[in-house]
Chain A
Amino acid sequence: NAGVTQTPKFRVLKTGQSMTLLCAQDMNHEYMYWYRQDPGMGLRLIHYSVGEGTTAKGEVPDGYNVSRLKKQNFLLGLESAAPSQTSVYFCASSWVAGGSYEQYFGPGTRLTVT
């Protein structure tokens, strides 16, 4: 049982390049989330999904796109990377939205855009 995994762990991009971050969970969770963490800040929600085939915008969605074609995977895309997107990206998943069910987090992806 791997929990939540993220690929890659580290990446350096040049401005204007594109990339996709992959999040996978093996807990059959319905809900999945993408957050970013910047120095001195807590995590901020980028996009989330309440089930296979659904996505919605979070607090800071600009410059990112997501897809949830399979229940276990949640992809985060950067079409044209900018230095402001240098951050640590965390994926999380949860069984249900409410109650005491916590979100399980992946190990994070450290992205640097030069």
Chain B
Amino acid sequence: AQKITQTQPGMFVQEKEAVTLDCTYDTSDPSYGLFWYKQPSSGEMIFLIYQGSYDQQNATEGRYSLNFQKARKSANLVISASQLGDSAMYFCAMREGESQGNLIFGKGTKLSVKP
């Protein structure tokens, strides 16, 4: 079974609108972390936001917020006020436990922002 599932291979959003990218995860470890990375067409991996399993509040970083629903095992990324530069691949990733740091990635969602 996949540990990280991103069900939207591609998404379109109008510039200045908000968009939600879905991510569900599967783990039995009570301690885990959830990350979102952005990969523009140039190829580099850019860290966006982090949510810990014990965090009580949803993480926010500028225009990025993470809608963390622990019981549903979902960690959706919300981008507000989309910009053309947000067009990229977005990857959800999970770290299980605290000792090794390995990330398990989803297959990604390609976001296209329309002017």
Contacts and interface: CB of A to CB of B under 8 A. Distances in A.
Contacts, number: 70
Interface of A: 31, 33, 35, 40-45, 48, 50, 56, 58-59, 88, 90, 92, 94, 96-100, 102-105, 107-108
A42 B105 contact: yes
Closest 10 pairs (CB-CB, A-B): A98-B98, A42-B105, A97-B101, A105-B45, A102-B47, A43-B105, A100-B50, A31-B101, A42-B107, A42-B106
Contacts of A100: 33, 50, 52
B21 interface: no
A36 to B, nearest CB: 11
B61 to A, nearest CB: 11
B103 A45 contact: yes
B101 A41 contact: no
Nearest to A31: B101
30 contacts: A31-B100, A31-B101, A33-B101, A33-B103, A35-B105, A41-B107, A42-B108, A43-B103, A45-B103, A48-B100, A48-B101, A59-B104, A88-B43, A94-B101, A97-B99, A97-B100, A97-B101, A98-B98, A98-B101, A99-B33, A99-B52, A99-B98, A100-B33, A100-B52, A102-B47, A102-B50, A103-B101, A105-B44, A105-B45, A108-B44
